[in-house]
Amino acid sequence: MTELTHLTIEDALKGLKNKDFSAKELAEAHIEAMEGARDLNAFIVETPEIALKQAEESDKRYASGDEGLLDGIPFANKDLFCTEGTQTTAASKILEGFVPQYTSTVGQNLADAGAVMLGKANLDQFAMGSSNTTSAFGNVINPWKTSDGKDLVPGGSSGGSAAAVAARISMGATATDTGGSIRQPASFCGISGIKPTYGRCSRWGVVAFSSSLDHPGPLARTVKDNALMLQAMAGYDPKDSTSANKPVPDYAAAMTGDMKGMKIGIPKEYRLDGMPEEIGKLWDQGAQWLKEAGAEIVDISLPHTKYALPAYYIIAPAEASSNLARYDGVKYGHRSKDAETLADMYAKTRAEGFGDEVQRRIMIGAYVLSAGYYDAYYIKAQKIRRLILNDFEKAYETVDAILTPTAPSAAFPIGENEDDPIKMYLNDVFTVTANLAGVPGMSVPAGLDANGLPLGLQILGKAWDEETVFKVGGVIEEAAQFNAMPQKVMSKAA
Ligand code: GLN
């Protein structure tokens, strides 16, 4: 039998129903994998005692035949999702020791579906970053290595979640995507992930970075597993004023493989100068696969694409500077010990508690919102955001979905791009557009680069039409037959 940690969620659910193994055995196998892979630094806190307790309860439900959608499935919970009774840090020093009194809606939905929490996954501090190197708890290491064994970043910000899933430590994970943080780490780690439509998954109980751009969503190894995860996570939540009161469709059922009559757009603006040739080739190959499956490939234009990255890096820091104002050492988290006055305490607490990248974002945000620059930067960026949404709406009058690469590179070595924030921000060039427009986007592993590292393709859909995204993603997955495994897992199996 396949090792328990190598099963897909879909197969594990079958095995649990058949009583081939128990939820407790499944949890134990994953706890062992988690403990054996600590060098990846994928978790800030491990919660094996919670996992075992939840697994035992799951076994009882299987015994009485009233199991939930994800009963017994071990998952990693990004440490941005509040967990009642378990520390939640957003990978920051300022929240170190913060133990929430409530659980995020998405986390609660997963618990209600029977999922088993292995621990709190590492991330870029406050989800700001593309490499997981901004965590106050040390960077995460990608289970994929270069051929000469060099350590690579897992992507970010959901790097701990993605590394845990790729290394077969967890079957799925929660993640958030503000500018690409589900899709880019999925691409870097050779797994799948979907950022649903804005409003599909509740943001309640998720530490806020940029509230109008933050999207909770899942990571898992297969497209079908993502469908099952999203199904459990999504749904209306009156506690989030931007949550949509819409029924959640059966995502797995949408994966029919039938591309007849479907039109897929290829946006010319995503063919960047200087992008590695192999990424362009993989993109062409992806279009070819969809064509062979019966879809019509249509060249389209999303003319304002080149303004997306600058608009994102104004709007996201602006909202972050406002959201992060609450961390002042008074209500929760870190408080500076050597402050004499209140103002001094605020300043010292924030200087000590926030990492460099977070401070950079707060400063950019405060600047673009300041009286003299508000119109020139913030308002202009909001206007660009509208134009980007218009581009998508126009394109979707002709096509059902859009295909692009997920990221302009494969995973890069730890330390690269560190001294040049703009170069780091360029990583998000293909992903931020969907956040600005609120439309769904998924990354599916589609091939390897010349160095043997995974590359993903991105499928973008219409608002509320995740079903088409899953359908197209399933076809790409089937055609790509991506079954390469990261070295970290292979050496364990050997
Ligand atoms: N890399 C982007 C940033 O640094 C996106 C992060 C995210 O989606 N959370 O802002």
Radius of gyration of the CA atoms of the chain, in A = 21
- Tell whether ligand 1 has an atom less than 6 A from the beta carbon of residue 409: no
- Tell whether ligand 1 has an atom less than 6 A from the beta carbon of residue 428: yes
Evaluate whether residue 32 is within a structural domain: yes
Evaluate whether residue 373 is within a structural domain: no
- Tell whether ligand 1 has an atom less than 6 A from the beta carbon of residue 355: no
C-alpha to C-alpha distance for 133 and 188, rounded to whole angstroms? 14
Residue 494's pLDDT is 39
Residue 329's pLDDT is 93
Evaluate whether residue 172 is within a structural domain: yes
Structural domains in the chain (count): 1
Evaluate whether residue 486 is within a structural domain: yes
What are 369-387's pLDDT values in tens digits?
999 999 999 999 999 999 9
337 alpha-carbon distance from chain centroid: 35
Residue nearest atom 5 of ligand 1, based on CA coordinates: 179
Supply the residues annotated as catalytic: 78, 157, 181
What stretches of 243-301 show up as alpha helix (H) in DSSP?
A: 277-292
Cβ–Cβ under 8 Å, residues 311 and 384: yes
Nearest to 443 by CA among 479, 404, 393: 404
Cβ–Cβ under 8 Å, residues 470 and 442: yes
Q: How confident is the model at residue 1 (pLDDT cuts 50, 70, 90)?
A: low
Q: Buried b vs exposed e over 216-227: b needs ≥16 C-beta within 10 Å?
A: bbbbbbbbbbbb
Q: How confident is the model at residue 422 (pLDDT cuts 50, 70, 90)?
A: confident
- Tell whether ligand 1 has an atom less than 6 A from the beta carbon of residue 128: yes
451 alpha-carbon distance from chain centroid: 24
- Residue 83 lies in domain: 2-256+462-493
419 backbone dihedrals φ, ψ, rounded to 5°: -90, 5
What are 163-177's pLDDT values in tens digits?
999 999 999 999 999
- Tell whether ligand 1 has an atom less than 6 A from the beta carbon of residue 178: yes
- Tell whether ligand 1 has an atom less than 6 A from the beta carbon of residue 240: no
Residue nearest atom 4 of ligand 1, based on CA coordinates: 129
For ligand 1, mutation pick of 122, 131, 157, 182 (most atoms within 8 Å of CB): 157
For ligand 1, mutation pick of 81, 134, 181, 429 (most atoms within 8 Å of CB): 181
The pTM of this model reads: 0.97
C-alpha to C-alpha distance for 454 and 142, rounded to whole angstroms? 11
Mean pLDDT of the chain: 96
Q: How confident is the model at residue 421 (pLDDT cuts 50, 70, 90)?
A: confident
Mean pLDDT of the region 136-153? 94
C-alpha to C-alpha distance for 176 and 81, rounded to whole angstroms? 9
Evaluate whether residue 354 is within a structural domain: no
Give me the torsion for CA of 22, 25, 31, 37, rounded to 10°.
-120
With vertex at residue 58, the alpha carbon angle to CA 57 and CA 62, rounded to the nearest 5 degrees, is 120
What are 243-278's pLDDT values in tens digits?
999 999 999 999 999 999 999 999 999 999 888 999
C-alpha to C-alpha distance for 206 and 191, rounded to whole angstroms? 23
C-alpha to C-alpha distance for 98 and 88, rounded to whole angstroms? 6
Evaluate whether residue 90 is within a structural domain: yes
3-state SS, residue 306: helix
The CATH number covering residue 108 comes to 3.90.1300.10
Environment class of 83 (CB within 10 Å of its CB; exposed 0-12, middle 13-18, buried 19+)? buried
For ligand 1, mutation pick of 130, 210, 211 (most atoms within 8 Å of CB): 130
Evaluate whether residue 370 is within a structural domain: no
Evaluate whether residue 292 is within a structural domain: no
